[in-house]
Amino acid sequence: MKLRTIVRLMLAFVSLVLVAPLNSLPVSAVEAKPAQPAQAVQRPVQGKEPDIDGDGLSDNVEINGYDADGDGRPEVDYKKMGANPYHKDVFVEMDYMPGELASEEELDRIVKSFADLNISNPDGRTGINLHLDAGSARSAKYNLGGGNQIPHQYVDDKLESGWLNIKKENFDSARDSGFHYMFWGDYYGNTDSSGLGFWKYPGFMVTVGKTHWNNNKGNMSDIRVGTFIHELGHNLNLQHGGADDVNRKPQYYSVMNYRYQLTGVPRTDGTRYFGYLQQDMPTLNEFSMDERVGLGSQGHGYLYRYMADENKPLKDKNGKDVTQPADRPIDFNQNGTIDQKPVQADLNYDKQGTLLTATSDLKTLKLFPFTKRSKGGMGGGPDSIPEQEENPATAEYARELDLIS
């Protein structure tokens, strides 16, 4: 046998030994190690991890879910629920007292109002994907595994003994990683208020229940939709004047405005808009307004609604609201004529002469980073204790508007 052939045979034998599988060798040949668990999903420190779409949910959480106990199995699977790291998402668990949950059609309207927002996303599409969880009470698209019926009960108007107490009893704390918590209730405190929301904090309630509200005039669907969007807006940094808390500004065409929360914003095509203001409107100086220009081109498509007082729209002889296209001359001081010189008028009935601004809600709206906190059971959201926004749009106010009897 040639030397070259012998060498090749020896090298082949050595290579077979070296590549032999470790599990074919005796135990003494390798270090015995216990089986390793699957790599755990890292518990996120929200707001410090990458968040490409800027919706307050880290990319890690939107892709891998939220693992509360670090066992490698996420308790909240946001991806399965529809989260997209390249498109803004907002998640809301909705609990409800018997007979108070919004209908499927009403939930569709609420979701569409967010989808229609002209907010950009990394995926090139506009809008916010609003994920509502009503559990099994509605169709599959609104069943994310939460959403419970809760007993009919009195709800205190104080945070700790009211909303928070109900949340603690019915809400999985792991969902503090990315869910707003709300419930559809009957009433709270000793009021007939339509709801209560927390400013810059993920929680609210809608309380247009059967004790004080009725649907005998067919307006409760609009009232539920407008109130839900209004209260969720507080969570997202919006105030009653958008960027400020000056209420009832006529040109602030948003359901954050008490003037439009229950009725929607009137449009020239006869429809009513239930959503947030998506464009800047002109500032109105109550000491000096040019009636000849109205709200100018920015008012196109909107109706200007004249008011009899702080709450009631002015009615014509047929009982209809007195309105006119907002981009045409407007009788701001309601003296029956279009003045040729600047006029003064208290347009929002606050007895103060002010500059009424109305910037786009999209400039103020914020999707805050969620933080997991156990202190006081408060859960996600900014670190400060939330400021309550008790809603003065009451059942009595709705009666003044002839929405209910």
- What backbone phi and psi angles, to 5 degrees, belong to 183? -140, 150
Contact in structure between 157 and 191 (CB atoms under 8 Å): yes
Name beta bridge partners: 96. Answer: 149, 184
Q: Distance (Å, rounded) from C-alpha 247 to C-alpha 68?
A: 41
Q: What is the DSSP string of 188-204?
A: -TT--BSEEEEETSSEE
> What confidence score (pLDDT) does residue 299 get?
98
The residues, any chain, with a CB within 8 Å of residue 29's CB and separated by 6 or more, are 22
pLDDT digit string (tens) for the chain, length 405 residues: 444 444 344 444 434 333 333 333 233 322 333 333 333 233 334 447 899 999 999 999 999 999 999 999 999 999 999 999 999 999 999 999 999 999 999 999 999 999 999 999 999 999 999 999 999 999 999 999 999 999 999 999 988 889 999 999 999 999 999 999 999 999 999 999 999 999 999 999 999 999 999 988 999 999 999 999 999 999 999 999 999 999 999 999 999 999 999 999 999 999 999 999 999 999 999 999 999 999 999 999 999 999 999 999 999 999 999 999 999 999 999 999 999 999 999 999 999 999 999 999 999 999 988 865 433 445 555 556 677 877 899 999 999 999 999
Residues 90-122: tens digit of each pLDDT: 999 999 999 999 999 999 999 999 999 999 999
The span from the CA of 251 to the CA of 332, in Å, is: 12
Residue 15: its pLDDT value, please? 40
Q: Which amino acid is at 26?
A: P
- Token representation of residue 6: 């012998």
Rounded to the nearest angstrom, the gap between the alpha carbon of residue 403 and the centroid of all alpha carbons in its chain is 25
- The pLDDT score that the predictor gives to residue 381 is 55
> What's the rounded Cα separation, in Å, for the pair 397 and 262?
10
Rounded Cα distance, 388 and 325, in Å:
36
- Collapse the DSSP code of 24 into the 3-class scheme (helix H, G, I; strand E, B; otherwise coil) and give the result: helix
Task: Name the amino acid, one letter, at 142.
Answer: Y
279 Ramachandran zone, left/alpha/beta (phi>0; psi -120 to 50): beta
- The bridge status of strand 387-390 relative to strand 195-199 is antiparallel
pLDDT of residue 389: 74
Residues 6+ apart with CB under 8 A from 259: 247, 248, 249, 250, 252, 305, 307
Both tokens assigned to 383: 């670190």
CA distance 234 to 200: 6
Bridge-partner residues for 389, per DSSP? 197
Q: Do the beta carbons of residue 192 and residue 404 sit within 8 Å?
A: no
- Three-state DSSP at 389 gives strand
Rounded to the nearest 10°, the torsion over CA 79, 82, 85, 88 is -150
Distance separating alpha carbons of residues 194 and 88, to the nearest angstrom = 28
How far does CA 321 lie from the centroid of its chain? 30
Would you tell me how many other CB atoms lie within 10 Å of the CB of residue 35? 4
Q: What pLDDT was estimated at residue 35?
A: 31
| 200: its two tokens | 């810059």
Taking a C-beta distance cutoff of 8 angstroms, is the pair 58, 67 a contact? no
Annotate 64-88 with DSSP letters as a single string: H-B-SSSSSS-SB-TTTTT-BTTB-
pLDDT digits (tens, 9 = 90+) for 36-95: 333 323 333 444 789 999 999 999 999 999 999 999 999 999 999 999 999 999 999 999
Whether residue 135 contacts residue 145, with contact meaning beta carbons closer than 8 Å, is answered with yes
pTM: 0.86
Exposure string (b/e) for 289-309, b if CB count within 10 Å is 16 or more? bbbeebbeebbebbbbbbbee
Of 79, 130, 76, 81, residue with least CA distance to 107:
130
Q: Are 221 and 201 in contact (CB under 8 A)?
A: no
For residue 94, the SS3 value is strand
